[in-house]
Amino acid sequence: MDFEVIARNFPFMLGGLALTIQLALITLAGGLLLGIILAVARLSSRSWLYYPATAYVHFFRGLPLILVIFWIYFLSPVLTGRSLNEFLAAVVSFIVFEAAYFAEIIRAGIQSIPRGQAMAAHSSGLTSFQCMRFVILPQALRNMIPALVTQAVVIFQDTSLAYVIGLREFLRRVNLVDAREARSVELYLFAGLVYFIFCSIGSLCSQRLEHRRERNSL
């Protein structure tokens, strides 16, 4: 065992980790936003909103993420005539894919809010949008925090799949170092440790938030 190899290539791999975190955060923000829109559309009584949103969610939940990454990366030049750079292709794939999962979490969260809340909001003259924005979503999002954090952890892990289109995120860089140094055991143990630490922090946050929520809802 030669853990020296990690120290030697630490800055290079750290650069990949920064990219991984960046990718995860952008996906989280974009996925959440698109997810909220899809969730609201899926709860709408208007069929021109409901059916497309429902089809979207079922479609992407029925595909492996890696396939979506390939599609976006290889299909976009065909459709637009220009090739997408790897980072952008990865971001778009992740947002498009994760939004479908977020949408279902958010939909369940919105449905968990008693109907009387919307009735009270509507009776005071608020529009459906205002009711959603000020009354329903703040409560629903709070209830959803544990599930959302769990999904964020999954996203963090999923970013490693971007290596298939050559994006030099964390795992890809570990992989490159291994190709040069031939120290698979040490390097992949290290990679595992890094993912484990980050995901544990996420899970811990989720537990904390859940405890706090329980206390506040007394």
Partner 1 sequence: MIEIRNVSLWYGAGHKALEDINETIPGGRTVVICGPSGSGKSTLLRCVNGLEHFQQGEVVVDGISVQAPGTDIHKLRSNIGMVFQHFELYPHMTAMDNITLAPVQVRKKPEKDAREKAMEILDRVGIPGKAFKYPGELSGGEKQRVAIARALAMEPRIMLFDEPTSALDPEMIKEVLDVMIDLARAGMTMVVVSHEMGFAREVAHEIIFMDKGRVMEKGTSHEFFNHPKNERTRQFLSRILL
The span from the CA of 63 to the CA of 42, in Å, is: 20
Q: Is 119 among the residues that bind partner 1 (CB under 8 A)?
A: yes
Q: Is 130 among the residues that bind partner 1 (CB under 8 A)?
A: yes
Minimum CB separation of residue 48 from partner 1 in Å reads 20
Stretch that binds partner 1, among 40-48, 89-97, 99-107, 109-117 (CB under 8 A): 109-117
Q: Is 111 among the residues that bind partner 1 (CB under 8 A)?
A: no
Q: Is 134 among the residues that bind partner 1 (CB under 8 A)?
A: yes
Q: Is 122 among the residues that bind partner 1 (CB under 8 A)?
A: yes
User: Which residue in 120, 185, 193, 197 binds partner 1 (CB under 8 A)?
Assistant: 120
Minimum CB separation of residue 131 from partner 1 in Å reads 10
Minimum CB separation of residue 167 from partner 1 in Å reads 40
**Longest CA span, the chain:** 70
3-class secondary structure per residue, 30-76: HHHHHHHHHHHHHCCCCHHHHHHHHHHHHHHHCCCHHHHHHHHHHHH
Q: Is 157 among the residues that bind partner 1 (CB under 8 A)?
A: no
Minimum CB separation of residue 34 from partner 1 in Å reads 24
- C-beta of residue 134 within 8 angstroms of C-beta of residue 126: yes
Q: Is 127 among the residues that bind partner 1 (CB under 8 A)?
A: yes
Q: In the complex with partner 1, which residue's Cβ is closer, 182 or 218?
A: 218
DSSP, residue by residue, 5-32: HHHHTHHHHHHHHHHHHHHHHHHHHHHH
Structure tokens at 143: 């209830």
- C-beta of residue 102 within 8 angstroms of C-beta of residue 61: no
DSSP, residue by residue, 134-159: IIIHHHHHHHHHHHHHHHHHHHHHHG
Binding site for partner 1 (CB under 8 A): 114, 116-117, 119-127, 130, 134-135, 138-139, 142, 216-218
